[in-house]
A and B are shown apart, each in its own frame.
Chain A
Amino acid sequence: MFQKIIEERIYSLLILLIMVCATASMVFPETFPTFENFSQILLNLSIDTIVAVGMMMLLISGSFDLSVGSVVAFAGCLAGLLMITFQMPVPLAICIALMGSIVVGFINGYLVAYKGINPMIQTLAMMGIVRGAALMLSGSGVQNLPYWFNAIGQSKLLGIQMPIWYMLFTVIVFTFLLNKTILFRQFYYIGGNEKAADLSGIRVKRMKMIGFVLTATLAGVAGILLSSRLGAALPTMGRGLELRVITAVILGGASLSGGYGKIPGALLGALFMGIIANIMVISRVSGYWQEIILGIILIGTLWLDKALQKKYSSLT
């Protein structure tokens, strides 16, 4: 049991989360442990988490994608433009926007997997290109999106905002896929040893491409949800999202070298960051300090994790 907690980041992070929440509830008994506050925290991290699920999958397979933040903006702006300027029906606009995201993922995946371009460089370049495209499409953003489009992100089910449901749905579906389907399990092997995976009969290139396409698709979904929630599509959406998401995923147990990680870890990592940010807002920590504190927490958590693992392995 103890070993499991130490070895699986999911469990150690969960314990840390509970400890943080318990402390915060004692310090801010009126503002922190309320239903409203928690549904707000979850709502605020739902978009990040949907992207983080894709990123977790990519990190498991040993690559990552810096262009997701730009894809969020691109998908939202493309859908907005189609609905407002071209008066397209909502479902069609959403489909086209998702197709656009898939194309971005396809280009990333093709160039990384088949042409051997380093994922960092490829997706960094794509980040700029796609952000530029979002700006070109929407100028200063598209306002007054149609009612039914806004209903996607602003409705509630059982008193809980829809984006939270979408997030949970995404996490559950991808947890299932990565645990229970052969196709998705191959990501672990690719991340574990790409060359050995290829010689074991795994179509590494094709799988990498699938990883990039799915990540971009999830980013597209997140972009549509975000603009629906805002009621507007802004080209500045998702700025800095890529690093936030990678941070959450690393906190959630992924490794930059691949092979490690579980999908629920993406949710827990995002939740941890969301709760820390929420506590800082509640305790009125000035904005200047937030990034510094988040950085320290990230380093501290990973260091603690390493130290515990070392300690544990020396015990036995």
Chain B
Amino acid sequence: MAHLKLDQISKKFPGVKALDGVCLTVFSGEIHALCGENGAGKSTLMNILAGNLQPDEGTLILNDKTEIIHNPHAAFDLGISIVYQHLSLVDSLSVAENIFANQQPVNTFGVIQFNELYTKTESLLQQLQLTEINPRTLVSRLSPAQKQMVEIAKALAKKPSILILDEPTASLTEKETQALFTILKKLKDEGISVIYISHRLEEIFLLADRISILKDGTYQGTFLKHDLKKDDLIKRMVGREINALKIESHLQEEVLLSVKNLSGNRFENISFQLHRGEILGFAGLVGAGRTEIARAIFGADNFETGEVMLENQMLNVTHPSESISKGMAYVPEERKALGLFPEMTIQDNIIVGKLTNALRGGFYNSERAKELAIDLKEKLRIVAPGVQQKVNNLSGGNQQKVVLAKWLLTNPEVLIVDEPTHGIDVGAKFEIYEILKSLAAQGKGIVMISSDLPELLGICDRIIVIKKGTIAGELSHAEATEEKIMALASN
């Protein structure tokens, strides 16, 4: 039975047609995967279902009744619950208060019944096999993965008949992902419709019953899982065939970056060498200390002992501005929070890497900045109407290219990239790999932190596995496999 039916939904934004006559039918008791590159219109569609946006055209039929969802509250009343990609939790409140936000149990006087709140939360967490989370803990103390699970619990607390998940596994470890899948399958058996959005195609084939595909705001069809092959799916999403990663090493002899016995907050005794032309992968579980190591090398955080040498020169830096001037660059993991100036233009975001490049006659010249930005925008194929566009309006992949463009401006010797393809669609991912490879070909050294194992296996010359702040092992390109990495990372 069709539980939810979207008919000819269209939505326009300034300059973009985000959705163009999209149709989608979701049955009760199925897990329905929604695929598409970033910018394909998945988020817009979800926001329409959640009541955050109103469609310009088209109808929404829920249980054979035409409904108009004016606001998130109306969506809630209709039993639609959404787990956002970006967390919506309040750090300063407890887990229980977050899960039951706006629907805390109250007595007749409207006073919150905290005991009931905690017991309800506890039983809910138990259902989700999250026994290690205490309902009274403040959310700020949880790990990113735990936060994600609490976010899911929050959505389930509303007892939805339709549950929408947007990239739920992005910050989850393998174990938690498995737990989530078990829960989702259980929900499905209870007759709940699950709409699942993910970039991880493996997951989709593991979990989904049916798969719907969007591309550039248009509907590309719905398929039973068994009728669709992975390559076929990618082709329909991207509209072209993507070459498998081609390994082509540019590794040179010369040591570019040498780290000796580095110890600091959440890591210790880290030693490694990075050569010219090398792409060095950093694998490990989320929270293993990879980001902390990168930040310490870059000078964003202090380290306690040890030394960092760049081109045989001691890199004694107290602030990123010094390491940047010595030829380092760092692309942070949280793109929006740490990498971008979301309300500023592409031009401003690129030129910030080296403001002095925009000088003309000693003064900042915005025409010069524009030229440089346009040049890099074309080089990296950033898709946007112009460099005066706010980066906030770009897709994740294009945003990441803007961050990379900023660093190309400084012409760094060593580039550290932290989860560079996190939340980026397949097409853009490959473009980013190409950029990294071409940098390696120019003799730069690249450290790539990633939780995406196929990606590490595909483009790294060497992979270092970090576990609990120490180096657990090192694998060459030839010997590395997913199993070996996972074994080192988790034991």
Bound complex: CA of A203 vs CA of B300, how far in Å? Answer: 11
What mask results when residues 171 to 191 of chain A are scored 1 for a CB within 8 Å of chain B, else 0? 000000001111001101100
Find chain A residues with CB under 8 A from B254 CB. Answer: none
- Closest chain A residue, CB of each to CB of B319: A203
Q: Pick out which of these stretches binds chain A: B67-75, B330-338, B429-437.
A: B330-338
| Pairwise interchain contact B348-A186, C-beta atoms closer than 8 A | no
Mark B360-384 against chain A: 1 for CB-CB distance below 8 A, else 0.
0001111000000000000000000
> Do A180 and B363 have beta carbons less than 8 Å apart?
yes
Neighbour of B406 across the interface among A188, A192, A193, A200, CB < 8 A: A200
A195 and B337 contact, CB distance less than 8 A: yes
A201 at the binding interface (Cβ < 8 Å): yes
Residues of A within 8 A of B337 (CB): 193, 195-196
Any B CB within 8 A of the CB of A202: yes
Residue-by-residue, is B332-347 near A (CB-CB < 8 Å gives 1, otherwise 0)?
A: 1000011111111000
Contact A188 B338 (CB under 8 A): no
Give 1 or 0 for each of B308-341: 1 = CB within 8 Å of chain A CB.
0000000000011100110000101000011111
Total B residues in contact with A, Cβ cutoff 8 Å: 31
Given the contacts A202-B321, A313-B14, A259 and B364 also touching, CB distance less than 8 Å: no
- A262, B474: Cα distance in complex, Å: 52
Asked if A199 CB lies within 8 Å of chain B CBs, one says yes
B361 → A minimal CB distance (Å) = 10
Q: Are A185 and B364 in contact, with the CB atoms below 8 A? A: yes
Answer whether residue A316 sits at the interface, using C-beta atoms and an 8 A cutoff.
yes
Distance of B296 from chain A, by nearest CB (Å):
13
Q: Do residues A196 and B340 form an inter-chain contact, with CB atoms below 8 A?
A: yes
- Which chain B residue lies CB-closest to A258? B343
Report if A189-B341 is in contact (Cβ < 8 Å); known contacts: A179-B364, A182-B364, A197-B352: yes
Known: A192-B344, A259-B344. A181 touches B14 (CB 8 A): no
- Asked if A198 lies at the interface with its beta carbon under 8 angstroms from chain B, I say yes
Most buried by A among B14, B15, B300, B352: B352
Contacts of B338 in A (CB 8 A): 193, 195-196, 199
A112 CA to B104 CA, complexed, in Å: 38
Instruction: State in angstroms the CA–CA spacing of A173 and B147 once bound together.
Output: 49
A180 touches B364 (CB 8 A): yes
Q: Mark A134-160, 1 if CB is under 8 A from B, else 0.
A: 000000000000000000000000000
1/0 per residue B145-179: CB within 8 Å of A? Answer: 00000000000000000000000000000000000
Q: Is B2 an interface residue (CB 8 A)?
A: no
B131 is an interface residue with CB less than 8 A from chain A: no
Smallest distance from the beta carbon of B101 to chain A beta carbons, Å?
A: 24
Judge whether A199 and B300 touch: CB under 8 Å.
Answer: yes
Q: How many residues of A contact B (CB 8 A)?
A: 23
Q: Which of A292-306 contact B (CB under 8 A)?
A: none
Closest to B331 in A: A199
Whether A200 and B344, one on each chain, are in contact in the complex, defined by CB atoms closer than 8 angstroms, is: no
Minimum CB–CB distance for B128 against chain A, Å: 32
Interface of A is mostly: helix
User: How near does chain B come to A118, taking the closest CB pair, in angstroms?
Assistant: 15
Is there contact, CB below 8 Å, between A201 and B14? no
Q: With A182-B364, A189-B352 in contact, is A203–B341 under 8 Å at CB?
A: no
**Docked pose: A205 CA to B358 CA in angstroms:** 23
Tell me which of A182, A188, A202, A313 has the highest count of chain B C-beta atoms within 10 A of its own C-beta: A182
Please, which residue of chain B has its CB at the minimum distance from the CB of A190? Answer: B341
Point out the residues of chain B lying under 8 angstroms from A192, CB to CB: 341-344, 348
- For residue B295, which residue of chain A has the nearest CB? A199
Q: Complex formed: what's the CA distance from A185 to B14 in Å? A: 28
Distance, CA A199 to CA B297, complexed state (A): 12
- Given A180-B364, A196-B339 in contact, is the A201-B324 Cβ separation under 8 Å? yes
Q: Check B228 for interface membership: any CB of A closer than 8 A.
A: no
Taken together as a complex, chains A and B put the C-alpha atoms of A259 and B338 apart, in Å, by 15
How many Å from the CB of A92 to the closest CB on chain B?
34
The chain B residue with its CB closest to the CB of A186 is: B355
Most buried by A among B320, B341, B344, B356: B341
Contact of A181 with B363 in the complex, beta carbons under 8 Å:
yes
The residues of A that contact B324 with a CB separation of less than 8 Å are: 200-201
Query: A250-272: which residues lie under 8 A (CB-CB) from chain B?
Result: 259-260
Known: A182-B356, A196-B337, A201-B325. 17 other contacts (CB 8 A): A179-B366, A182-B364, A186-B355, A192-B343, A192-B348, A193-B338, A196-B339, A196-B340, A197-B352, A199-B320, A199-B330, A199-B332, A200-B320, A201-B320, A203-B321, A313-B14, A316-B15
B binding-site residues for A, Cβ under 8 Å:
14-15, 298, 300, 319-321, 324-325, 330, 332, 337-344, 348, 352-353, 355-356, 358-359, 363-366, 406
